Structure 1
């Protein structure tokens, strides 16, 4: 299967540059994966597609201000670091631009010396391992010096940083938001719970695996970057009971989907645990847990549209995306939503 099989034309003006004032007022395209039919709704209508006894699974990760700007000692320059994941203690895996200015042994200064780092190594995929040193608490320094790592296709400044967090974000560690969850308000979550739907929280810290482009023509040769996840015993039990009682497991976002499909055994039973996953889901994959998916509209030829295509079918997905373009839906992180049922 080729990368170009997942391409669609997207006018630049449909890339959402800012979030809507009211989270739940975004549009919602409902895609029936059996028939390929679509309906145009609003996100608050999601209630109509959830039934008592269903289970909705959300990723409660919280985005950290993971973008840092520094310079080599004694140099006037700007080097951008994106923190991807903590290896251990103060050692982090990072994306660096320009990479030629961050070689092993280079000392980097951030915030006039409040934070310093040494480049330890360059990994096979081009990421850098940096060892930070500082006085005080790292998270507090990061809050002071770091910036919210908005995707490169968003050119406008975000006035309220909380709009790039879900209202249920809790566990710090992501380099990007699980954007399907940005549509929910606390009030809407309350209505869903009152409907008799079980709401379960799991954690996957979003890293490079989510937004790294597919560079190989044959998608089966693409390797996903590892991301850390946690699933509690309570969450696993609720999900398993839902399946046993013939309820639907509705994953909110591709990150929740990847976590559930990583942790489940071959019989579809979810096992509590924590660890790292590099699961790559594309057409031909047999889903073990997820019955339905709430997601955003994703970049052409991305691993995310490939995952959606695995659940809904490639032809259904691309037809739905082309209809979304015709109907001028808003795309990507701050854009509209899709429900695959």
Structure 2
């Protein structure tokens, strides 16, 4: 299987640069696996494809305002830090630019000294381990000084940080948003619950590896990035009860999908657990938990389009993407959505 098998031509003007004023007004392509039929709707119409007894699974991770701009103490040279992984309370693995100017012992000041970072060590891959010094509550300082780590294909500045958060974001830890969930409003979620659809949550902290391109031509040679997940016992129980009663598991996003497929055993039972997953889902994979998928339109040749192709079939997915380009759908993080119905009933 070749990476180039998942290429499609995407005009740059179709890459959404800003979120819509009304989250649920985005367009929704509904793709039926059995018939190959495609429908063009709006996101709030998703209710028509759900039914009582189904379970919608959301990822309640929260994006950190993880990009910090400061200056090197002593020289005043401009420095940028991107928080990646929290090692302990005040120690982080980070990406620093320019990296060559961040050596152990160097100190970087943010917000006129409100936050100071000392470089402790350089680790494999060129990232740094830093320790922060500050007075007060770190999260409050980060909220004040940090910016959202928007994907590289978004060039516009985001005016409202909350528009890169889902309305149900709860547990901080992501470097990128689980963007399929950005379309939901509290009102739409309540309407879905009132229909008898259960809503369960998992947590997967999305890493920057989600934007990492596949650089090998043989798909099987690609090494996935690792991300931390949590599935709580009561949430696993809701999902297992749904499956037992014949309802569908409808994952909101590839992050929820990867989490569920990481914790489901060979008998289809979703296990409550936490840990790190590097699961790579591509055509040929047999799904153990997920029946349907709500997701955005993904980058060409990405692991995400490969995951969708594993669920729906590569030919149908590539046809759907070609139609999305023709119909001028908006792509990527702030773009429109798909509902992939791999199981109708």
Same fold, TM-score > 0.5, yes or no: yes
Instruction: Work out the CA distance in 2 between the residues paired with 1:337 and 1:43.
Output: 7
1:55 Cα offset (Å): 0.4
Pairwise CA distance, 1:145? 1.2
Q: Deviation string for 1:199-241 (max 9, x for gaps)?
A: 0111111112322222222222222222111111111001011
CA RMSD of aligned residues (A): 1.5
Which residue in 2 is equivalent to 1:229?
Answer: 229
Structure 1 range deviating more: 86-95 or 53-62: 86-95
> Which residues in structure 2 correspond to 1:307-322 (within 5 Å)?
307-322=307-322
Aligned residues: 341
Partner of 1:281: 281
Distance 2:89 2:188 in 1: 38
- 1:16 is displaced (CA, Å) by 0.7
Residue 8 of structure 2 corresponds to: 8
> Are 1:24 and 1:44, in contact at CA under 8 Å, matched by a contact in 2?
yes
For 2:181, the equivalent position in structure 1 comes to 181
SS in 1 for 2:87: strand
Q: C-alpha separation between the residues in 1 aligned to 2:288 and 2:298?
A: 23
Task: Name the CA distance, whole Å, in 2 between partners of 1:122 and 1:8.
Answer: 38
- Within 5 A, what are the aligned runs for 1:72-221? 72-221=72-221
Question: What's the TM-score, normalizing by structure 1?
Answer: 0.96
**Structure 2 SS opposite 1:274:** strand
Separation of aligned partners in 2, 1:34 and 1:103 = 57
* Matches of 1:125 and 1:33, distance apart in 2: 41
SS in 2 for 1:120: strand
Q: 1:278 to 1:142 in 2, by over 3 A?
A: same
In structure 1, the gaps of 5 or more residues are none
Rounded to whole Å, the distance in 1 between the matches of 2:51 and 2:71 is 54
Unaligned runs of 5+ in 2: none
Taking the aligned partners of 1:243 and 1:33, their CA distance within structure 2 comes to 20
Deviation at 1:99, TM superposition (A): 2.1
Q: 1:145 to 1:327 in 2, by over 3 A?
A: same
